[in-house]
Structure 1
Amino acid sequence: MQEPDSRPVKGSTGSEDRLSAAEFLRAHRETLLADWQQAVLEHLAGKVPPREPWLIDHLPELLSALADAVDFGSETLDERMEVAHAIARLDEGFNLGEVAHEYALLRRCILHRLEAQEQRLRPGDLTRLEEALDRVVTRSMVFFWDMKQRILQTLERMAEATLDDPDMETLLERLLTRLMESTLAVDAAAVMLLEGDELVVRAAVGLGTHEVKGQRVPVEHSMAAQAAVLHQPFLIRSAATDPRVLLDSLRQQDLRALYGMPLMDGDRLLGVAYMGSRTAFAFSDADTLLFRAVAQRASAHIARTELHTRERAARQEAERSLAQLDSLLDAAPVGITFLDTQLRYLRINDVLANLNRKPVEAHKGRPLQEMVRDGAGDAIERSLRQVLETGQPVQDVLIEGPDVKRGGIGYWRADYFPVRTRDGVLLGVGSTVVDINDYKRAEAALQQAVNFREELLAVLGHDLRNPLHAVNASAFMLGRFEGLDATSRRGVDRIRKASARMARMINDILDFARSRLGGGIPTTPQHVNMVELCQSMLEELQVAYPERPLTLEVRGGNLEGQWDPDRVTQVLGNLVVNALQHARNDTPVETSLTDEGTDVVMRVHNEGDPIPEHLLPRLFDPFKQSLTPDEGGKQRSLGLGLYIVHEIVQMHGGSVHVESTVERGTTFTVRWPRVPPPRGYLPP
């Protein structure tokens, strides 16, 4: 700046009409602040966000101080203002050139406003203003530089403390030691880390180190929690008597100033660091600035240590998981493999590698088609692609191929499933392959035995019919001979009963064989009257069992429908004969037919011992025997009769069930639908 011309001009009345620089600064303070702020923002050009409070900070006081310095001399300037401004800029990350440029812009804004005035300055005001500004700039630059060097030297020493990669507590104690060595007013310092709901002192130096280390403070009651919410440091001027200090050891050290700040990782509270002094009630701005730099570095080390700890734990867990996986792969009796999304092998065990006739190491990183033998790769790849495309497993895939170990054709069952991370990202596909050759051979042998048994039963049933017909015919002829005495006639009756029973048993055997070999018992439905069928069957049984009363009760007028008449009478005959075998000798066997709309219901009832509860779930299974001996000491065979009843009723689309109690006896209920099921119907 040059001193404005002070020579008299036309129209001038003297120096008393000149402009006072001090009054100019006071009168135009808000305008100068606005001009300066705009100039600074244009210079920064988006380097930092425009947060007005920190940008303006000490400038209003600086303009007022400059006005006073013009009036009373630059010796009146308070250096604490420049120090506070320099510390604020250090906190914001400004460099020395940027701070100097701020003052240069302020000088330019003042000059531009002065040039716009019509009045000239009083003699000497501009010089005094220049001297005041130069003093402010010089002191700010010197303090800023010295403080910057001090912080850099402290941080350099802190960096040296980390070279041997110490544990976190040792590292924090070294950082605090560097702080105490750089700040004479500090008598104690510590770092408290957040563990659950408590702050725990993990590193301490200076006074009370042994007493305070390891102590705990509930986080919700501490000043650190409030400081973490506000993201601001805290200052206590008399720690020995202040109730907000929760650690007794700090009070016992007669500390005065206690300055602390939260250790943050973004918005996450890591802990709190504090420093205390026995001599000072407040720390200097330089000391607090250095402490904040140390605390920020400590926060970075704590966060990095936690990250390394988590990474190390994750790596160890991954190594354990891989070791367990390798152990499983080696010990598993089935083939196991994992492939990536490009169907390249990642892991495979010996079982599956041997099936491909290549070593385990040869598979890693190689595509499926190169490793799978005998042309089976296409079918396997289709299943694997399906898993990758749908994200769903593909199970029970039968693989056939040459069995090198045993010769001939071999069989394996494969299951394919997606492999994902915990958050659902698809990594590839896994596969298990089970050797089912033994199972296939056992299944074939069993099926052969079953087929042989069924065929034997069918042949046996057919071949027994011819001699049985001869017995029946002979017994019939003997029964008509009038010269038989009573004893001979009873013998003939026993022959006829036995042959009738054998005929029913042979029919049951044949039907059983048909149901197992031919897909169900054949039926030929036709329009019939259920009453006539039942009467005919009961009359025939009454001849065979003349001493036992067999009754029929009919309820309803329409008892006609589409049924196979031979099968209906076979069902009734089996149920009635079964009832005769298990009823008391002095009680009748009662049959009833009921019209129930779309169905005709047949019930066969007898009095006698109830069916044991343990037999009821399997009552209609073939080839079972009661475990309860009858009065004669023999086991009561339930044979095939009830099984055949169940199969015939189901082929008609009906149902059969039984109720058996001591009080009400035993009742078999058969429900016959009037309309037959569709042709080709098989019961479920």
Structure 2
Amino acid sequence: MRAPVPTPSLSDFVDKLLLLDRSFQQPGSGGEEHGFLEKLLVTADTAPVLLSYVDSAGRYRFCNQAYERWFGEKRELILGRPIQEVLGEAAYESIRGTVQAALSGQRMHFERVVPYRSGGTRMVRADYVPHLLPDGRVAGFVAMVEDITELRQGEQARRDHARAERLYAVSSALSQVLLPEEVARVVVREGAAALGALSASLALVCEEGTAFELSAAHGFPEGVLNESWRRFPIDTPVMYREAVRTGRPVLYGNLEAFLREYPEQAGSPALLGRAFAALPLRVDERIIGAFGFSFEHEREFSSEDLQFMESLGQQCAVAIERARLYAAERQARAEAEQLRDRLAAQTALLETVLQQLPVSVVIAEPGGRIVRGNAAVETIWGQPFVASANIPEYVAYRGFHPDGRPYTPEEWPLARTLLHGETVVREPVTVIHSDGSRHQIDLSSTLVRDAAGRPVAGVAVSTDVTRHHELQEALRREGDVREKLLGIVSHDLRNPLQAISTASHLLLSSAVPLAPPQRKWVTRIRTSVQRMDRLIRDLLDFVRIRQGGTLPIQRQPVCLEEVGRTAVDELQEAHPRRQLLLEARGETRGEWDPERLMQLLGNLLSNALSHGSEEAPILVRVAGEGTQVVLEVVNQGTPIPAELLPRIFEPFTRASEGSNALKGVGLGLFIVHEIVAAHGGHIDVSSSAQVGTVFRVRLPRVSPA
């Protein structure tokens, strides 16, 4: 049952009693300090509130009948006892400061929850009125205490009911929207209404966690929240930042407190109201943003206010997260539909391409079941496509190894790929068509894996290479004939050339001197014989290399400078109108084949004589560099075309530009390359109008291990 509220007349009555008491006492009268007051208080014995008189020692001198109902003791047992003994230590500690203030002469009024000795608590409203003597001393105080527990509970119940209705209204409004932007608008509108706020705003943390994005606002004048408020750094000094950083509500009961924290916002048109609050929006221990409010008047935020705001924030956070998930699911569904459409289109395109391919393609599942084959299967294999259910059923396909053995099902490349993960590249297989014709095919297979590396399919591709094999065989036979012919011709030409060379030598060394014209003719004959001998020697070396052999070399101590000088002197004698120079530096000795080095230098110098400028000298440079010796042959003239450089050392390579066309059969530089390779060296060429054409040979001094 709710205790009645004390009327002002009761308080006035007590004030009049105290005034009457002072009128009956004179300073220094020596009378009892509170006896008369106690007698006067008896008239209020039946008051519906606790009414008592406490002396300056803190002891009860009077208490009305209500004390018996509150504490369950006769008044006679209460009088004369200290306050803490009657109320209990816990209750006394809660009012100690107020008692001391009343005994010091201050009139006190308070409302608070007080725990009592008998157990439980009471919400009380109390007035302590000091009893002042004429000389100013405090004789005690009159206490009026009212139990307002039920009153406050009723008021709280009404507030809770109102807040529950407001939360329900918010929940109802949120249940009718789905998209994030719609939810944000409802959240700020309904949130402001539920709290009686002047304005409300919602800022969410972006996915990267580096900025706030203002999702919605309510109660602000048009145009106040400009573009700078749409997205701003997460460390901007605003209430949202503190709410997100601390995970707790941020409250400012007045404008002065707010501006102490955020002075830069003074005068901002977006600053509305006199009190402010920001709530973190939390979902599963994750803070997704903050909810901001401003209030028209200054206010104190009670624990009930805070609890209500947190409930509202939680409800809104869940709604926002739900809307986000819905939007994400909706987008994912749309993307899945688009992906399905693209996949269907790509599958159709792939099927079309697969059927048009000139090669046979067979696709099998990891367990071995063949699920697809294109139209080329029947053309290449000479039989219709067979969708085998497993690897043993691959017996439907017939083929033979190069040695004539038939393939077993497990030997097929596709089966080996599926069983062992083997990748097969162009394995030769012979198949026999229904008309009895034999065909050669190249068969390849590999696994297809998903993003996690799991096998999802095996693919076998076969190509009919019968015509290719036939052409290769024809080319091989043609090459054999050509190389045999070259070998025969080059070998048989050496005998008559040897005879011509001997005769020219005898004529030049005859005891009977030749006339100058005769000597000139014989010298030309001898030069041509030497050139033909080099060509025949190159041809013989080429045939040996093409038949699988290597250039034989006989290593012995050699001075490359001396070899170079001999080669230069011989060719200078044969070409007296051209200038050939030799430069040497450093140690140029090593272990090489001197005959092959002469052949190498002869070919390089002949190439330089054929293509170099007749007005410019040909330079041979020999330099010792540590463990190798470098030989360079340099000539001036028209540069070698850039497109020819990469294949200059290939056999039968010839230039094709007018008067600079390569002479001979195009084997000289090929033989040079092979001689360098046989010695474990390296050769390269560079050619430009500024520097000329430079062939650079690097030879290790000793044979590589």
Q: CA deviation at 1:650?
A: 1.5
Q: What amino acid is the match of 1:568?
A: L
Structure 1 residue 465 corresponds to structure 2 residue 465: no
| In structure 2, C-alpha distance between the alignment counterparts of 1:212 and 1:534, rounded to whole Å | 93
Q: CA deviation at 1:648?
A: 0.9
| In structure 1, C-alpha distance between the alignment counterparts of 2:680 and 2:520, rounded to whole Å | 42
Contact persistence 1:550–1:589 (CA under 8 A):
yes
Structure 2 length-normalised TM:
0.59
Partner of 1:33: none
| In structure 2, C-alpha distance between the alignment counterparts of 1:178 and 1:558, rounded to whole Å | 98
Q: Deviations over 1:397-455 (max 9, x none)?
A: 556778899985643545557644xxxxx3634678584626x5686467546634642
Contact persistence 2:633–2:694 (CA under 8 A):
yes
Contact persistence 1:595–1:601 (CA under 8 A):
yes
Q: What amino acid is the match of 2:418?
A: E
Structure 1 residue 271 corresponds to structure 2 residue 290: yes
Partner of 1:113: none
Q: Look up the SS of the partner of 1:639 in the other structure.
A: coil
Structure 1 residue 202 corresponds to structure 2 residue 216: yes
| In structure 2, C-alpha distance between the alignment counterparts of 1:18 and 1:165, rounded to whole Å | 67
Structure 1 residue 522 corresponds to structure 2 residue 551: yes
Q: Deviations over 1:524-580 (max 9, x none)?
A: 4243656897788778768866887889899899957352x5433322332343344
- Larger CA Rg, structure 1 vs 2: 2
Q: Deviations over 1:460-503 (max 9, x none)?
A: 21121355235425535765589999878866665554454334
| In structure 1, C-alpha distance between the alignment counterparts of 2:198 and 2:369, rounded to whole Å | 56
Q: Look up the SS of the partner of 2:88 in the other structure.
A: helix
Q: What amino acid is the match of 1:458?
A: E
Structure 1 residue 248 corresponds to structure 2 residue 260: no
Partner of 1:36: none
Q: CA deviation at 1:298?
A: 1.1
Structure 1 length-normalised TM:
0.60
| In structure 2, C-alpha distance between the alignment counterparts of 1:514 and 1:318, rounded to whole Å | 66
Once the two structures are overlaid, the 10-residue window that deviates more, 485-494 or 143-152, is 485-494
Contact persistence 1:553–1:592 (CA under 8 A):
yes
Partner of 2:602: 573
Q: CA deviation at 1:106?
A: 8.5
Partner of 1:510: 540
Q: CA deviation at 1:104?
A: 11
Contact persistence 1:412–1:436 (CA under 8 A):
yes
| In structure 1, C-alpha distance between the alignment counterparts of 2:658 and 2:439, rounded to whole Å | 53
Structure 1 residue 226 corresponds to structure 2 residue 242: yes
Contact persistence 1:338–1:428 (CA under 8 A):
no
Partner of 1:25: 88
| In structure 2, C-alpha distance between the alignment counterparts of 1:655 and 1:561, rounded to whole Å | 16
Cα–Cα, structure 1 residues 634 and 150, in superposed 2: closer, same or farther, change >3 Å? Answer: closer
Q: What amino acid is the match of 2:249?
A: Q
User: Which of the numbers 659, 663, 673 marks the counterpart of 1:646?
Assistant: 673
Q: What amino acid is the match of 2:671?
A: I
User: Which of the numbers 279, 283, 287 marks the counterpart of 1:261?
Assistant: 279
Contact persistence 2:363–2:460 (CA under 8 A):
no
Structure 1 residue 428 corresponds to structure 2 residue 454: yes
Partner of 1:379: 416
User: Which of the numbers 318, 327, 331 marks the counterpart of 1:309?
Assistant: 327
Q: Spell out the pairing of 1:583-594 with structure 2 (5 A cutoff).
A: none
User: Which of the numbers 147, 172, 196 marks the counterpart of 1:160?
Assistant: 172
Q: Which has the higher contact order (CA 8 A, sep 6+)?
A: 1
Q: CA deviation at 1:644?
A: 0.4
| In structure 2, C-alpha distance between the alignment counterparts of 1:191 and 1:572, rounded to whole Å | 90
Q: CA deviation at 1:301?
A: 0.8
Once the two structures are overlaid, the 10-residue window that deviates more, 222-231 or 609-618, is 609-618
Cα–Cα, structure 1 residues 307 and 144, in superposed 2: closer, same or farther, change >3 Å? Answer: same
Q: CA deviation at 1:140?
A: 5.9
Contact persistence 1:273–1:295 (CA under 8 A):
no
Q: Spell out the pairing of 1:539-558 with structure 2 (5 A cutoff).
A: none
Cα–Cα, structure 1 residues 153 and 414, in superposed 2: closer, same or farther, change >3 Å? Answer: farther
Q: Spell out the pairing of 1:620-635 with structure 2 (5 A cutoff).
A: 620-626=649-655, 628-630=657-659
Q: Spell out the pairing of 1:342-361 with structure 2 (5 A cutoff).
A: none
User: Which of the numbers 298, 310, 322 marks the counterpart of 2:316?
Assistant: 298
User: Which of the numbers 437, 442, 445 marks the counterpart of 1:411?
Assistant: 442
Contact persistence 1:338–1:429 (CA under 8 A):
no
| In structure 2, C-alpha distance between the alignment counterparts of 1:345 and 1:214, rounded to whole Å | 65
Q: Look up the SS of the partner of 1:523 in the other structure.
A: coil
Q: CA deviation at 1:506?
A: 3.2
Q: CA deviation at 1:107?
A: 1.3
| In structure 2, C-alpha distance between the alignment counterparts of 1:282 and 1:337, rounded to whole Å | 76
Q: Spell out the pairing of 1:435-446 with structure 2 (5 A cutoff).
A: 435=461, 437=463, 444=469
| In structure 1, C-alpha distance between the alignment counterparts of 2:157 and 2:184, rounded to whole Å | 27
Q: Look up the SS of the partner of 1:193 in the other structure.
A: strand
Contact persistence 2:448–2:455 (CA under 8 A):
yes
Q: What is the RMSD computed on CA atoms of the aligned residues?
A: 6.0
Structure 1 residue 501 corresponds to structure 2 residue 511: no
Cα–Cα, structure 1 residues 454 and 539, in superposed 2: closer, same or farther, change >3 Å? Answer: farther
Q: CA deviation at 1:587?
A: 8.4
Q: Any gaps of 5 or more consecutive residues in structure 1? A: 9-13, 31-59, 69-75, 86-102, 111-127, 385-393, 421-425, 679-684
| In structure 2, C-alpha distance between the alignment counterparts of 1:105 and 1:303, rounded to whole Å | 50
| In structure 2, C-alpha distance between the alignment counterparts of 1:555 and 1:229, rounded to whole Å | 78
Contact persistence 2:650–2:670 (CA under 8 A):
yes
Q: Deviations over 1:626-665 (max 9, x none)?
A: 45544xx766568210220121121012344567788997
Contact persistence 1:337–1:430 (CA under 8 A):
no
| In structure 1, C-alpha distance between the alignment counterparts of 2:455 and 2:446, rounded to whole Å | 10
| In structure 2, C-alpha distance between the alignment counterparts of 1:336 and 1:190, rounded to whole Å | 65
Cα–Cα, structure 1 residues 105 and 521, in superposed 2: closer, same or farther, change >3 Å? Answer: farther
Contact persistence 2:244–2:289 (CA under 8 A):
no
Contact persistence 1:652–1:672 (CA under 8 A):
yes
Q: Deviations over 1:194-244 (max 9, x none)?
A: 37645636253xx668677888646724333334444224245469x9885
Q: CA deviation at 1:305?
A: 1.5
Q: CA deviation at 1:523?
A: 1.0
| In structure 2, C-alpha distance between the alignment counterparts of 1:666 and 1:562, rounded to whole Å | 25
Q: What amino acid is the match of 1:379?
A: R
Contact persistence 1:337–1:345 (CA under 8 A):
no
Q: Look up the SS of the partner of 2:650 in the other structure.
A: coil
Structure 1 residue 331 corresponds to structure 2 residue 331: no
